[in-house]
Amino acid sequence: MLSAVNYGQSIASQTTLGLHQNSRMNSTLSIRCFAANILETHASWRRSCSEQLYPMFNTIGSHLMIFTIRKYFLNQNNFKRYISSAKIKMSTGDNIGVTLKKVTTVLENFAPKKLSESWDNTGLLVEPYTARNITKVLLTNDLTEDVALEAHNLGCEMIVSYHPPIFAPMKSVVQSSWKERIVSYLLENRISLYSPHTSWDCVRGGVNDWLASAFSFTESVPLIPGSDPQFGAGRLLQLTSEISLSTAISKVQELIEIPHVRFALGRGKQMSSNIKTVALCAGSGSSVLKGAVADLYLTGEMLHHDVLDAAQKGISVILTNHSDSERGFLKVFSNNFQNLLNNEVQVFVSKLDKDPLVTV
């Protein structure tokens, strides 16, 4: 426990500093720094912060410091600058959490970037200028402004957004576009952003395998194999035993926890008709499912003519809404992710992330 320690002697001769721990904050030191009678130049104040204070704070294992100084000094623009740079240095906190590099390595080890489709934009997408350790991560399917605010309110230093919020190249980072506003907000609040997208679709144990877990099956192979045939886009399942179309719908609803799906009955089929093979692709599956030989297609969304084409060939189709075919994986992954990070990072799943479409 730290209390009102005076470091006045150790820094600039006419400066008095006191440190005080706010013991109500768990695993976080809230340190108030009082400065009085600073008659030194700005340069010496900066030196005091960087050379004297920061190493001391590091030694006592502090993570977050709230650094306040008398109003008198806040009114001086140059001091303001030094104060804010001191804040950044002091909240770097090397003793709690893990580095951004460690988190991205764990993510890469789970689903290497090379598994991503060539058109995709995956990996670390936003990295703040001043590094800080990661203690909390928020998982989301889509990064909206509400989710960005949620991450900041939870104290997360990092967001993992399945869909890449930056996809088309940005020519500016200004307030008039919601996507650019998010990037601006993340940088201002020093929140990193990582996006795995199609690497999670292709990898074993990823999004498509989660969607496949609605069924019990004896074989699951990618519809479009990658260079390693174990990985790839979509899945073709051979079910353990035949199930009716109505049972298949119930199983999907149970997994995705959504009461309504859209369904197209294949030509010549009834709801009681049995199925043995399922072709599935999380998200927007038309291009991956096209031509697949199966009794049932399962995906998030398809265009009218693609649904019509499948149904006329006798293939029934379940559409869940795009992100409802993906989002449930986050819950499964969050536990796995926290374990892979040796519980040194708290992993949250967004409560505000949802598909923009609902069936009413």
Annotated binding-site residue numbers for a divalent metal cation: 163, 201, 322, 326
Closest CB to Zn ion among residues 45, 297: 297
**Burial class of residue 188, CB neighbours in 10 A (0-12, 13-18, 19+):** exposed
**Minimum distance of Zn ion from residue 48's CB (angstroms):** 51
**Minimum distance of Zn ion from residue 208's CB (angstroms):** 11
Closest CB to Zn ion among residues 79, 162: 162
- Residue 24 three-state SS: coil
CA angle, 206 then 215 then 266, to 5°: 110
Q: Which region, judged by CB under 5 A, interacts with Zn ion, from 32-40, 76-84, 235-243, 280-288?
A: 280-288
Nearest to 5 by CA among 68, 57, 51, 71: 57
Site size for Zn ion (CB under 5 A): 1
Closest CB to Zn ion among residues 128, 285: 285
- Is 234 an interacting residue with respect to Zn ion (CB under 5 A)? no
CA angle, 187 then 188 then 192, to 5°: 35
Cα-Cα-Cα-Cα dihedral of 130, 131, 133, 139, to 10°? 90
**Minimum distance of Zn ion from residue 140's CB (angstroms):** 12
Structure tokens at 68: 């306040």
Asked whether 92 and 50 are in contact (CB, 8 A), the reply is no
Rounded Cα gap, residues 201 and 197, in angstroms = 7
Q: Which of 164, 165, 283, 285 binds Zn ion (CB under 5 A)?
A: 283
Q: Which region, judged by CB under 5 A, interacts with Zn ion, from 29-37, 215-223, 281-289, 311-319?
A: 281-289
Closest CB to Zn ion among residues 164, 266: 164
Closest CB to Zn ion among residues 316, 321: 321
Instruction: By CB under 5 A, name the binding residues for Zn ion.
Output: 283
